[in-house]
Structure 1
Amino acid sequence: MRTVAILLFDDVEVLDFAGPFEVFSVTRELAGDQLFTVHTVGLNPGTVRARNGLKVVPEHTLESVPQPDLLIVPGGYGTRALLHQPGVLDWIRRKAPKCELVASVCTGSLVLAKAGLLAGLPATTHYECFDQLRALEPTATVREDVRFTEADRVLTAAGISAGIDLSLHLVARLHGVATAQKTAAYMEYHWTNDGGARR
């Protein structure tokens, strides 16, 4: 059982976190409640107000969540505030070295960049934020032509729905393509696993 932690914060983009949550949760269900335990993580106790007013109550806070094997940082306008929250950035820096994999969706890559996790790596983000990603981490190779990037333990997805592609790729990487295809079929999601740039 691998522990997946998905970070939630005010103005998080809904599909950025809900897409990966669905992928890992469906994979777990189809495997008979095996393979993954999925946790949502808020910065503080209480309700998170996602984009367009959706209210979500995360299961854990930064302090209570078990050490994740997979850490997922989604995007949305709320990432701009995270860039100026040293406590959150430090939490990511402390957790990341103990994670098997660290991934971002959309502008979550800006947070990984600010935390120093994208130095010298390929990375991508929402198409409107390529220049901002370059400014935050000048040594990163920003890819504008892929759904996701992969450099050993660190992965980044492009905008919003690309998080589903990335999550299915992670399922395939960890548990085989057939497992990911079964999840995609259940979700009725057209998945080809050919949208990534790997190093």
Structure 2
Amino acid sequence: MTRVVFLLVPQLHLLDLAGPAQVFSTAADHGLDYAVSYVAAREDVTTAQGLPLRAATDWPDLGPADLLLVPGWRSPATAGGPRLTEAQAAQVVAHHERGGTVGSVCSGAFALGQAGLLAGRRCTTHHELQDELARRHPEAAVLRDRLFVVDDRVVTSAGIASGIDLALHLVAARHGPAAAARVARGMVVYARRSGDAAQDSAMLRHRSHLSDAVHHVQDLIDVRFAEPLRLADLAAAAGVSERTLTRRFVDATGMTPLRYQSVLRLERAEHLIAQGSPTESAARAVGFGDARMLRRLRAGAR
């Protein structure tokens, strides 16, 4: 069980909270082992949008596998001011020191700065607050034009809807991109990936269509792209003929099912190579018999 704890501060933005909370809740609906909870200094929490919230005041026991996230708040003139109590700041630091991951959405980055977790780390926040964050925390490297930044189990995001991107990234990092793609599809969002990775993935880039049969086949390919897949088997799973599946797949994605599989293999192989894997090892890991086909695909993609 992975606990995801949201630390709520007064005047928080609803979407800063609701977006990532929905990601982890949807992930749990898909069978991933997440439990979401909310803590605050007081039980009643005001929001920037006027909807009152109720949170626990007692902290759950957190382990290294658990996540602690701080949503942002509305207060442009005092965004950088202290928002956490001393006890809350200590809890944030203690969780990170135990090996846990700590994250923020939008101005929540200032809370991580208050806790001393931005010193010597790369981070980001909403574009309207980046100058203020850099001024208040000169020891941090504030990166601009990023949806989110990951640095030594401290993850910060640009704000508002980008909290969804951050949460999907965390799901992908723990369970793989196919799991994140299923969650994104369940939420009907077009997810983007940022930081050092590509800003979008093939699994998500070709999902903006309404064909249930094609989505179903994509689900199968996403999970089994490293295996040999027969068009006849994919068509049977979709309940259509091979010709019908190919036509619908091309209409929906611009490519055939097997071409889609090759794109997924290439994207995963590029990631492995970027992480230091030899080309031959990366080729075999994604289902190619040797590196020759991978080299041809890489050359054709350039």
Is the shorter-chain TM-score for this pair beyond 0.5, marking a shared fold? yes
DSSP-derived class of the 2:134 partner: helix
Moved more, 126-135 or 103-112: 126-135
| Structure 2: gaps spanning 5 or more residues | 198-302
1:66 to 61, 69, 73: 61
Q: Which residue of 2 aligns with 1:75?
A: 72
Cα deviations by residue, 1:6-37 (Å, 9 ceiling, x for unpaired): 11121011111111110001001111xx4211
Letter in 1 for 2:44: T
| Structure 1: gaps spanning 5 or more residues | none
Q: Which residue of 1 aligns with 2:144?
A: 144
TM-score normalised by length of structure 2:
0.60
Cα deviations by residue, 1:97-154 (Å, 9 ceiling, x for unpaired): 2252111100100110111101111110111111221122212111111100011311
Q: 1:124 to 1:41 in 2, by over 3 A?
A: same
DSSP-derived class of the 1:96 partner: helix
Moved more, 132-141 or 94-103: 94-103
> Which structure shows the bigger proportion of residues in strand conformation?
1
DSSP-derived class of the 1:192 partner: coil
Q: 1:103 to 1:4 in 2, by over 3 A?
A: same
Aligned counterparts of 1:28 and 1:84: Cα–Cα separation in 2:
29
Q: Which residue of 1 aligns with 2:47?
A: 50
Q: 1:124 to 1:197 in 2, by over 3 A?
A: farther
Aligned counterparts of 1:54 and 1:81: Cα–Cα separation in 2:
23
Q: CA deviation at 1:42?
A: 1.6
Identity of aligned residues (%): 36
Q: Which residue of 1 aligns with 2:175?
A: 175
Question: Would you say 1:95 and 2:95 are equivalent positions?
Answer: yes
Q: Which residue of 1 aligns with 2:202?
A: none
Aligned counterparts of 1:163 and 1:77: Cα–Cα separation in 2:
15
Q: Which has the higher contact order (CA 8 A, sep 6+)?
A: 1
Letter in 1 for 2:69: I
1:40 to 29, 38, 41: 38
Letter in 1 for 2:103: A
- Find the structure with the greater CA-based Rg: 2
Would the aligned equivalents of 1:148 and 1:197 in 2 still touch at CA under 8 Å? Answer: no
Q: 1:176 to 1:14 in 2, by over 3 A?
A: same
Aligned counterparts of 1:38 and 1:93: Cα–Cα separation in 2:
20
DSSP-derived class of the 2:68 partner: strand
Aligned counterparts of 1:37 and 1:54: Cα–Cα separation in 2:
23
Q: Which residue of 2 aligns with 1:190?
A: 190
Q: CA deviation at 1:41?
A: 1.1
Would the aligned equivalents of 1:28 and 1:36 in 2 still touch at CA under 8 Å? Answer: yes
Cα deviations by residue, 1:142-167 (Å, 9 ceiling, x for unpaired): 11111000113111000211100000
Letter in 2 for 1:196: G
> Which structure shows the bigger proportion of residues in helix conformation?
2
Aligned counterparts of 1:84 and 1:170: Cα–Cα separation in 2:
24
